[in-house]
Chain A
């Protein structure tokens, strides 16, 4: 396989330009603010999906607990916003002014200790990265150092997602319970609710998304990415070659967790609330399906998968609520049985060769370029 010295090969460059054009120009110009905000919500899942491409597609580690990290990031951001929204003036009518409303409803009279640091924005931003990162580090170290992987890892991460959901729902006074943290208003005095703020937040999110795409692409192209693929294919051989397989797995898992947390934080900002329904088992598995639909080996595919599946979900569940679950279920089965490489696989198998042939017939000399467009191959499990 040819190792590229360029950051993007030709087909990736086309993918990059198309995605950038759609997200930066076409969607903001063609959609109203409500729809644009919906796209912003879909894109928060794209962060998770990119992380899963690294962790699952390349590393072969299927995590069914990405909702945990999405939720941790989202809750960190929501705690900061909630504290700002519950200033003493805003909460005069409560029996204890200055604490979030759900605490007041649950007869808590002072701000719990672990809420205190979230008065500071810089601490919050650090926490969004570090809390999920450290949590992933602990889980990853405990599991991968003992060579637990594959299905067992999937089941245990799923259990972690279940535990966190039950904990958040149960500890209503500290977390807002099943309703989550609602009524988030301002970020450092800047109102996040009006239309122009939503547009600005959308662009901030897209910039962050492209930063994450860049980081993921960088990891993919360096030796690290090659080792991840090698590990997925023949773990023992990599181990016998002297690499610490566990450390690479932990790294991939932590990166996926951090990406998911950034997505969660952007979710809290864009949508204006955070609740346990984005943490549990069901959303975590849905996040995996976004990646699977887009193509588990393709970073851009993951973004498209998140947008398209969520778009289908919104439009189908609006008009045919009965059909949506059938459709989603059929999508799962079809992707697994017929298209294990998702949309990007369909593109690479059916569309790309035609385009190449088109170019090749016009410019015969550039035919050698097509070697670059070979994907890293289907995962063999």
Chain B
């Protein structure tokens, strides 16, 4: 399959496919970060995670429409406000869901899966009723269009670069919040031993609610970033949910570093294979490889050594 290309061509192909993979990587990381917090830390299987992401995407779409109609001068900067709104909207919905649904189910992880799947169906139908079944796309501000020419044969789209920078920024923030802040310590304490954490005076219910809200909020930001590179429909979230769960499980559920490493390897493998094989076979081979490795190493790439 390499025969028809010269060495230089192959280099460019790998760089450009690698870059396409990096954009996929960004989406995976943003979705998986929220899921790693919810699934990895809290043990809740949130099948509606994709729908929280899509909520963020719709919020971004609405913001962009509002700016276009009322504040066309400020349109080039709408995205930053949209991102904050997406975070707040998804996070608030997440906290509501935690209060109504999830808090009753912490001892039954498999049941959270069924309940959140039901939630995802309802959200999908809600989006379809409110926004219509058709996919919507946001209009990008001028400065995000076009591409950077790195060399003659290599060019990278600016919106992709932007999404990647955003991903790095959010990842650093999440890592800081989880590992350095007082609140992050409380979250990890509750996860490791709920009863003891409660005994030393941590309000575990409150921590649970905000943790779930944070995870969903990050999903909202992921959706916001997602609008930069693709269009949004009511069922777009479902396309990514299985991949995202695999990313989190493959990385080792409780490890943020593992999540990033696994998102990187999965997205790179997939996009490089995509150039040489059909898209579906690339996906099949990638997923098969992940499942195969998980069968050999069920704890994932980076496992925390915890005595249970």
Contact = CB atoms under 8 A, between A and B. Distances in A.
Interface residues of B, number: 42
Interface in B87-135: 101, 104-105, 107-111, 113-115, 117-122, 124-126, 128-129
A148 B117 contact: no
A355 to B, nearest CB: 29
A158 B104 contact: no
Interface string B232-270: 000000100010011001000000000000000000000
A288 interface: yes
Contacts of B126: 326
Contact of A329 (B121, B242, B294): B121
Interface in A140-161: 142-143, 146-148, 150-152, 154-156, 158-160
A158 B242 contact: yes
B174 to A, nearest CB: 22
A329 B117 CA distance: 7
Contact of B115 (A170, A333, A381): A333
Interface in B276-290: 278, 280-281, 283-284, 287-288, 290
A348 B280 CA distance: 48
Contacts, number: 117
Contacts of A333: 101, 115, 118-119
A2 interface: no
B294 A156 contact: yes
A154 B280 contact: no
Contacts of B249: 152, 155-156
Contacts of A21: none
Contact of B242 (A159, A169, A381): A159
A170 to B, nearest CB: 3
B7 interface: no
Interface stretch (A34-42, A197-205, A334-342, A360-368): A334-342
Contact of B291 (A147, A160, A281, A381): A160
Interface in A293-351: 322, 325-326, 328-333, 335-337, 340
A152 B298 contact: yes
Given A162-B287, A170-B280, A381 B110 contact: yes
B280 A329 contact: no
Contact of A142 (B108, B113, B278, B295): B295
What 8 pairs between A and B have smallest CB-CB spacing?
A332-B118, A170-B280, A329-B122, A325-B125, A329-B121, A142-B295, A329-B118, A148-B298
16 contacts: A64-B113, A152-B294, A154-B110, A155-B245, A156-B291, A159-B242, A162-B242, A282-B238, A322-B125, A322-B128, A322-B129, A325-B121, A326-B125, A329-B120, A336-B115, A337-B104
Interface of B: 39, 43, 45, 101, 104-105, 107-111, 113-115, 117-122, 124-126, 128-129, 238, 242, 245-246, 249, 278, 280-281, 283-284, 287-288, 290-291, 294-295, 298
